[in-house]
């Protein structure tokens, strides 16, 4: 008789006894996340500059499903003390928020540093530290100064210097108190999303702009990393990374294995390989496919701009841990040339593949969000084995609902199952450093406006006070943090 190991058995079946004795390691950190444009509001107070989101949604409100925008959002600009209080109520170790570039640098350039912007982020950082909560700061969560977009935005290679100047100012102002920095949130969204009319500035340029942006974000991140490494790390000993959004992809049938790997490289590899791989540069298989596609289409230069040898070395290794935003899984199916689904965002059109859901997975809100927690564990293994990265921080994970109820059992279950997968991955030997729930509270969910919620706390957007109220998922998260485990007693624990 052949025995399978406990780890393999648990990977496949996950009965409760697999988890019963598992606890989060003592240095595992729990957190919650938000982003400036989604929560701050106060879009034009004092000298704040206009961001691409301000400008495009003021001129074209129909770009969001409810014609809303982030002018007021959760009003965290005024209500940040309550946000800290909520983080304290949950008992989290870290709060991830982003700095609004145009709030700190109204012109986008370092010629003016806003006193008001400085004060706001100093207050928030100091307020968190007073309560023993670590500020985890994202430099860029999609609210590019409109002034820089007018100059070409992420397609202009000068943005590498613009971003570096901004990063240096942020490190100088806040680096003495912030020791975890995240450079550019989900570069895939910044490039593939924004150049596919899905996120501001809603451009339509998937052939060229998307890939110019791809190279420039990698270089901008690397430059910001190198500046920190050389000038600030010796003083403050902090850590940096760039959070990647990472759908897990699996082949629909064994025959789709090759294209499924290719789609992983198109999504994750294009934004990870240059930084984390031993060789650096673009994933070779993607560089090859895109070069062939471009040639066939009559382009004389590769659409995905090549890296020079110096650039490869400059970008390679610019990380202290892998920052992962994980939400969902897709199955990948090979298609005949020209028959890929209409999803340029996924890169299907470049690879002749479709992405579909497994009928066994339930979906949340829309069918883009399939619930398959096992995908997270597989993905953690993939990162670990593909890049040999030692440490992984989950910088986002959460579930959208249309219902605004305080009883949010589906979100609670989603978070629970993902935490279970993390415990199992840790047990497999992968160093998951922490988990960050998206989101602390309901907020402006980009093109879904306020129709979709991810919050552990609900927010009453009809009230001028933007009243925040904990959901059941908040109580659950609190009890996990308190016990540092997922036990059957969880539901009995009271929330403070
Ligand atoms: C992540 C983003 O990709 O997904 C968050 O970093 C965002 O800012 C979250 O709110 C949910 O995305 P969406 O598109 O459902 O609002």
pLDDT digits (tens, 9 = 90+) for 271-314: 999 999 999 999 999 999 999 999 999 999 999 999 999 999 99
25-59 pLDDT, tens digit each: 999 999 999 999 999 999 999 999 999 999 999 99
Q: Is the CB of 412 under 6 A from ligand 1?
A: no
Q: 445 C-alpha to center of ligand 1: Å?
A: 6
Tokens 């992809």 found at: 249
- Rounded to an integer, the average pLDDT of 138-154 is 98
Using CA atoms, how far apart are residues 344 and 295, in angstroms rounded to an integer? 19
Q: Is the CB of 160 under 6 A from ligand 1?
A: no
**pLDDT computed for residue 22 by the predictor:** 86
Q: Ligand 1 atom closest to Cα of 448? A: 16
Does domain 6-485 match CATH 3.20.20.80? yes
Number of H helices, E strands in the chain: 20, 14
Q: 32 C-alpha to center of ligand 1: Å?
A: 13
* pLDDT band at 14; cut points 50, 70, 90: low
Classify each residue of 430-456 as buried b or exposed e, where b means 16 or more C-beta atoms within 10 Å of its C-beta.
bbbbbbbbbbbbbbbbbbbbbebbbbb
Residue of minimum CA distance from atom 13 in ligand 1: 445
> Which SS3 state, helix, strand or coil, does residue 428 take?
coil
- Rounded to an integer, the average pLDDT of 381-409 is 97
Q: 489 C-alpha to center of ligand 1: Å?
A: 31
Using CA atoms, how far apart are residues 327 and 375, in angstroms rounded to an integer? 9
Tokens 């003390």 found at: 81
Residue 1 pLDDT greater than 50, yes or no: no
pTM: 0.95
- Rounded to an integer, the average pLDDT of 354-365 is 91
Q: Is the CB of 183 under 6 A from ligand 1?
A: no
Q: Is the CB of 143 under 6 A from ligand 1?
A: no
**pLDDT computed for residue 418 by the predictor:** 97
**pLDDT computed for residue 21 by the predictor:** 72
Q: 3 C-alpha to center of ligand 1: Å?
A: 43
Residue 77 pLDDT greater than 60, yes or no: yes
- Dump the DSSP string for 163-223: HHHHHHHHHHHHTTT--EEEEES-HHIIIIITTBTSSTT--B-TTTHHHHHHHHHHHHHHH
Q: 395 C-alpha to center of ligand 1: Å?
A: 12
Q: Would you mind telling me the total number of residues written for the chain in this entry? A: 496
What mean pLDDT, rounded, does the chain reach?
Answer: 94
- Please state, for a pLDDT cut of 90, what percent of the chain lies above it: 89
Residue 99 pLDDT greater than 90, yes or no: yes
Using CA atoms, how far apart are residues 148 and 103, in angstroms rounded to an integer? 14
- What are the sequence ranges of the domains in the chain? 6-485
Residue (of 30, 19, 87, 137) closest to 434 by Cα position: 30
Q: Is the CB of 442 under 6 A from ligand 1?
A: no
Residue 270 pLDDT greater than 60, yes or no: yes
Residue of minimum CA distance from atom 7 in ligand 1: 445
Residues with active-site annotation = 186, 396
Q: What angle do CA 302, 189, 43 make, to 5 degrees?
A: 130
> Which SS3 state, helix, strand or coil, does residue 406 take?
coil
């Amino acid at each position: 008789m052949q025995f399978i190991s406990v780890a393999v058995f648990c990977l496949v079946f996950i009965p409760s006894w697999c988890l019963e004795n598992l606890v989060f390691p003592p240095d595992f950190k729990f957190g919650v996340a938000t982003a400036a444009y989604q929560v701050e509001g106060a879009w034009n107070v004092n000298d704040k500059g206009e961001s691409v989101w301000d400008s495009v949604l003021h001129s074209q409100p129909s770009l969001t499903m409810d014609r809303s925008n982030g002018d007021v959002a959760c009003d965290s600009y005024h209500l940040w003390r309550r946000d800290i209080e909520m983080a304290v109520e949950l008992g989290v170790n870290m709060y991830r928020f982003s700095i609004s570039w145009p709030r700190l640098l109204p012109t986008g350039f370092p010629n003016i540093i806003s006193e008001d912007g400085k004060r706001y982020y100093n207050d928030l950082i100091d307020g968190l530290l007073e309560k023993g909560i670590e500020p985890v700061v994202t430099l860029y969560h999609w609210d590019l100064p409109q002034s820089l977009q007018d100059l070409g935005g992420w397609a202009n290679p000068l943005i590498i210097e613009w971003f570096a100047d901004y990063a240096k100012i942020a490190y100088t102002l806040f680096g003495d108190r912030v020791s975890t920095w995240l450079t550019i949130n989900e570069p895939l969204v910044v490039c593939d999303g924004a150049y596919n009319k899905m996120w501001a500035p809603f451009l339509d340029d998937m052939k060229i702009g998307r890939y110019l942006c791809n190279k420039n974000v990698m270089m901008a991140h690397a430059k910001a990393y190198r500046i920190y490494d050389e000038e600030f790390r010796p003083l403050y000993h902090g850590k940096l990374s760039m959070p990647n959004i990472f759908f897990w992809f699996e082949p629909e049938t064994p025959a789709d294995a090759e294209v499924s790997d290719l789609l992983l490289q198109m999504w994750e590899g294009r934004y990870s390989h240059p930084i984390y791989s031993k060789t650096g540069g673009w994933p070779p298989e993607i560089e090859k496919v895109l070069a062939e596609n471009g040639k066939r289409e009559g382009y004389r230069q590769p659409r995905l701009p090549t890296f020079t040898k110096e650039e490869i070395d400059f970008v390679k290794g610019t990380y202290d841990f892998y920052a992962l935003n994980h939400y969902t899984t897709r199955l990948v199916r090979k298609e005949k040339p020209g028959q890929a689904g209409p999803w340029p965002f996924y890169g299907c059109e470049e690879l002749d593949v479709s992405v579909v859901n497994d009928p066994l997975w339930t979906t949340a809100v829309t069918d883009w969000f399939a619930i398959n927690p096992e995908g997270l564990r597989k993905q953690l293994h993939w990162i670990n084995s593909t890049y040999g990265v030692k440490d992984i921080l989950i910088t986002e994970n959460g579930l959208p609902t249309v219902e605004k109820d305080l009883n949010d059992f589906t979100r609670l279950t989603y978070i629970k199952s993902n935490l279970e997968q993390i415990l199992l991955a840790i047990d497999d030997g992968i160093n998951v450093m922490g988990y960050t729930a998206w989101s602390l509270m309901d907020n402006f969910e980009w093109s879904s406006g306020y129709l979709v919620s991810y919050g552990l706390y609900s927010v009453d957007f009809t009230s001028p006070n933007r009243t925040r109220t904990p959901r059941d998922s908040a109580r659950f998260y609190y009890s996990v943090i308190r016990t540092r485990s997922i036990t059957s007693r969880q539901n009995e624990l009271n929330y403070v």
